[in-house]
Amino acid sequence: MVFKSKFKVWEHEIFDFSRHHPRDIAASVLFSLLGQLMIAVSTYAAFRCLLVVMPFFSALGVAATGALASIVPLSWLGSDEGNLVSSRLLPRFGVNTTTTLLVTGLLVILNYIMGLLGGIT
């Protein structure tokens, strides 16, 4: 059973399942998935709000790529790698520069709001 032992990678203990109840682990996984879905849907809503015509799964791809790029701990003048990815990918879908900057700024605000709501809950 997965939830009764320790999770090890190359003999290093990563997580001890025996110290946590399986219901708590399942709840945290569901909460994480729900948060990721909220970010993806809010990204698509931001695109639609600024009249960016893009298929739903393409918008999810841009959101996921930006989220993965945000893991890199680099920023320049307050702009991180996630913003850079969004500003480089959106013109490939025919979005002009002004709208790209507006969408990127709106996505930053939405991510702060989602993080605040997640922290409160």
How high is the mean pLDDT of the chain? 78
Note whether 95 and 81 are within 8 A (CB): no
* Lowest-confidence segment of 20-24, 76-80, 103-107 by average pLDDT: 76-80
- Alpha carbon 105 to its chain's center: 15
Residue 97 to residue 88: CA distance in whole angstroms: 10
Q: To the nearest whole percent, how much of the chain has pLDDT over 90?
A: 0
Instruction: Tell me how far apart the alpha carbons of residues 1 and 11 are, in angstroms, rounded to a whole number.
Output: 19
**Quick check: 82 pLDDT over 70?**
yes
User: Which pLDDT score is estimated for 1?
Assistant: 46
Give the pLDDT confidence score for residue 14 in this predicted structure. Answer: 66
Mean pLDDT across 100-111 = 81
* Residue 33 pLDDT level (bands cut at 50, 70, 90): confident
| DSSP string computed for 19-53 | GS-HHHHHHHHHHHHHHHHHHHHHHHHHHHHTT--
At 17, phi and psi to the nearest 5?
Answer: -70, -25
> Which tokens sit at 42?
């809010």
Q: Which of 99, 37, 90 is nearest to 62 (CA)?
A: 90
Between 118 and 63, whose confidence is greater?
Answer: 63
* Length of the chain (residues): 121
Looking at residue 17, its pLDDT comes to: 63
Strands (E), 52-100: 75-76, 79-80
Residue 57 in tokens: 């799964």
Q: Kindly report whether the global pTM for this prediction surpasses the value 0.75.
A: no
